[in-house]
């Protein structure tokens, strides 16, 4: 067994895996890494199962010390990681010697980094997953949904691969792209005014600084819904709800399981991964796509693994 000691952390640093499925009928949300691409690549770099538990580090402020020699992997945002003061870039596995310190300082590109260990970090499975959902007190190293705290110790049992590995450049996502976020239109989209639909897909949206793992509000033109009041219904990952003030909310992994606001549609998984790496205040655009196109792009991306 190998261990990492946490020297610094924030409430935004959590243990995550691919998420909790098959339990929404119980009112339990999904959880899991917001940028599923980076989480998967971090595990791939070590030969882990792609959904093995990793550390999701949001915006920096995290530091660990190795209690034994180890081999870890880092993917996702460049949060100014430093290994004993020397810069460490993401998208690679790397050796950490006993007593060495790995520190994440501040966002340089992207918002969330994913740190993986051989075999995945040890954590009990609660309803089939180790994903941390603080609101529901589920998941994490102790199963109680707590953020990673200063002074805690993380362990893992997996055997490290023999060689360090770097992700080929063609697979590294571009977090600085201005490509629009693809949205599959929802059942209520035809009940918004024509001007609202034009504005939704032809004007930029600004990410509200108050976003969290439950959802991100988009600030921009107010969208007007003209349909009848709705009965609450199930909410998929990436749903774009429009409350009465007309400012859309993109619902993320820790969303509620049902809701009664009309939905413009839902972002595709690939677009959600890109959104998870956008910092507050960033400008984004939406682009409507049909479900068949979104499904084909998702299948083609998964084949890269």
Task: State the Cα–Cα distance between residues 91 and 172, nearest whole angstrom.
Answer: 7
Same domain, yes or no, for 143 and 7?
A: yes
Same domain, yes or no, for 290 and 146?
A: no
What is the model's pLDDT at position 210?
87
Same domain, yes or no, for 165 and 213?
A: no
Burial of 190 (0-12, 13-18, 19+ CB in 10 A): exposed
8 Å CB contact between 103 and 62 = yes
How many Cα neighbours within 13 Å face the side chain of 228? 3
The reply to whether 53 falls in a domain is yes
Number of H helices and number of E strands within the chain? Answer: 4, 21
pLDDT band at 148 (very low <50, low <70, confident <90, very high): very high
Same domain, yes or no, for 112 and 212?
A: no
Summarised one tens digit per residue, pLDDT across range 177-213 is 889 999 999 989 999 999 999 999 999 999 999 899 9
Task: State the Cα–Cα distance between residues 123 and 132, nearest whole angstrom.
Answer: 10
67: its two tokens: 């209690």
Q: Quickly list H helices, the chain.
A: 36-44, 194-202, 269-275, 291-302
8 Å CB contact between 15 and 148 = yes
Average pLDDT of 246-253?
98
User: Is a pLDDT exceeding 90 seen at residue 1?
Assistant: no
Task: State the Cα–Cα distance between residues 295 and 38, nearest whole angstrom.
Answer: 19
Task: State the Cα–Cα distance between residues 286 and 26, nearest whole angstrom.
Answer: 32
CATH of the domain at 186: 2.40.100.10
Task: State the Cα–Cα distance between residues 130 and 141, nearest whole angstrom.
Answer: 8
Nearest to 209 by CA among 157, 113, 279: 279
Of 123, 146, 171, at which residue does a domain stop?
A: 171
Nearest to 4 by CA among 73, 84, 99, 129: 99
Summarised one tens digit per residue, pLDDT across range 115-139 is 999 999 999 999 999 999 999 999 9
What is the model's pLDDT at position 199?
97
Average pLDDT of 102-111?
97
Same domain, yes or no, for 139 and 196?
A: no
User: Is a pLDDT exceeding 90 seen at residue 171?
Assistant: yes
Burial of 123 (0-12, 13-18, 19+ CB in 10 A): buried
The reply to whether 176 falls in a domain is no
Same domain, yes or no, for 202 and 257?
A: yes
Average pLDDT of 248-268?
96
Residue 226's domain spans which residues?
181-302
Summarised one tens digit per residue, pLDDT across range 51-88 is 999 999 999 999 999 999 999 999 999 999 999 999 99
Question: How much of the chain exceeds pLDDT 90, in percent?
Answer: 94
Domain count along the chain: 2
92: its two tokens: 């690679």
Of 171, 191, 217, at which residue does a domain stop?
A: 171
Summarised one tens digit per residue, pLDDT across range 14-50 is 999 999 999 999 999 999 999 999 999 999 999 999 9
Of 152, 171, 190, at which residue does a domain stop?
A: 171
291: its two tokens: 């479900």
What lies within 8 Å, CB to CB, of 26 at 6+ separation is: none
Query: What is the chain's mean pLDDT, rounded?
Result: 96
């Amino acid at each position: 067994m190998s261990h990492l000691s946490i020297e610094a952390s924030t409430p935004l640093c959590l243990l995550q895996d691919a998420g909790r499925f098959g339990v929404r009928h119980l009112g339990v949300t999904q959880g899991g890494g917001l940028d599923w691409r980076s989480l998967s690549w971090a595990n791939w770099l070590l030969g882990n199962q792609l959904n093995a538990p990793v550390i999701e580090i949001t915006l920096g402020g995290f530091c660990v010390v190795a209690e034994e020699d180890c081999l870890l992997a880092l993917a996702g945002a460049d949060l100014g990681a430093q290994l004993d003061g020397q810069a460490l870039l993401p998208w690679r596995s790397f050796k950490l010697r006993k007593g060495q310190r790995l520190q994440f300082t501040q966002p340089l590109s992207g918002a969330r980094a994913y740190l993986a260990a051989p075999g995945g970090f040890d954590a009990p499975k609660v309803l089939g997953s180790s994903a941390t959902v603080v609101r529901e007190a589920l998941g994490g190293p102790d199963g109680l949904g707590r953020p990673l705290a200063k002074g805690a110790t993380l362990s893992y049992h997996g055997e490290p691969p023999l060689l360090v590995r770097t992700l080929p450049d063609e697979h590294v996502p571009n977090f600085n792209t201005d490509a629009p976020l693809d949205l599959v239109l929802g059942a209520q989209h035809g009940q918004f005014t024509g001007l609202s639909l034009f504005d939704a897909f032809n004007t930029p949206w600004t990410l509200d600084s108050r976003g969290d793992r439950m959802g991100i509000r988009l600030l921009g033109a107010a969208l007007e819904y003209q349909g009848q009041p709705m009965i609450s219904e199930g909410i998929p990952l990436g749903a774009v709800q429009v409350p009465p003030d007309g400012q859309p909310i993109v619902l993320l992994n820790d969303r509620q399981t049902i809701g009664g606001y009309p939905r413009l549609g839902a972002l595709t998984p690939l677009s959600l991964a890109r959104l998870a790496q956008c910092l507050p205040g960033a400008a984004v655009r939406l682009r409507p796509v049909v479900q068949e196109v979104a499904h084909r792009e998702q299948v083609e991306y998964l084949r890269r693994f």
